[in-house]
Amino acid sequence: MIADLAAILCDEVWLLAQEGASYIQLDAPSYTVHLMDPRGRQELVDAGLDPDEVLDDTIAGDNQLIAAIHRRPEVIAGIHLCRGNNRSAWAAEGSYEPIAEKLFCTLQADNILLEFDSERAGGFDPLRFVPKGKNVVLGLITSKEPQVESEDLLRRRVDEAAKYVSMENLAISTQCGFASTAPGNLISWDDQRRKLELVARMARKIWG
């Protein structure tokens, strides 16, 4: 099924690239909900499946899509490992550790977007598996709640992540979008604007 779906989506991403899209980003909640979260992994085991084999198949499917994107070498391929974002809720928790080594080393995306906006995400240790030159976007600013994060805390967290990934290969963003479904999250338009202004301000302060 994964291979069949990938074949369909390959046509879509290739058309986007041909139309002039310079950046194409895949959304990939399967990694976090089914393969990283302890409950999701147990559900696979209970269904008679090997989570590691499912991980291999999922990476292979995404790499098919990324290869289609990279048929135009100037197009950047990103992938977002979503933990759930419907009405400010979440669907997965836990460290990236169970999937980090295989995922980071074999997934061919140029940018990997990871959610680190709460303690549910664990620490930055799994970033030690990120190959040199691959970009990691740190989702440190929550899109679920209106409170604006401390700039000092954000800077400290970026510095902590830089122990594992070179600063030139790091970026900062909200942890997810503001409306994964039509009703959106429990956050106002003004709150969203302040969050995006914070992203831009921190990017300028840290990377110039």
Distances (CA, A) of 52 to 45, 73, 125, 149: 10, 30, 20, 36
* Tens digit of each residue's pLDDT (9 = 90 or more) over 56-106: 999 999 999 999 999 999 999 999 998 877 655 666 778 999 999 999 999
Read off the pTM: 0.91
* Most confident range, picked from 72-86, 108-122, 189-203: 189-203
Place of tokens 């399967």: 30
Domain interval for residue 141: 2-207
Task: Evaluate whether 110 touches 55 at the Cβ level (below 8 Å).
Answer: no
Which tokens in the block code for residue 95?
């460290």
Task: Evaluate whether 127 touches 161 at the Cβ level (below 8 Å).
Answer: yes
Which CATH number characterizes residue 13's domain? 3.20.20.210
Query: How many residues in total does the chain contain?
Result: 208
How far is CA 51 from its chain centroid? 19
Number of structural domains the chain divides into: 1
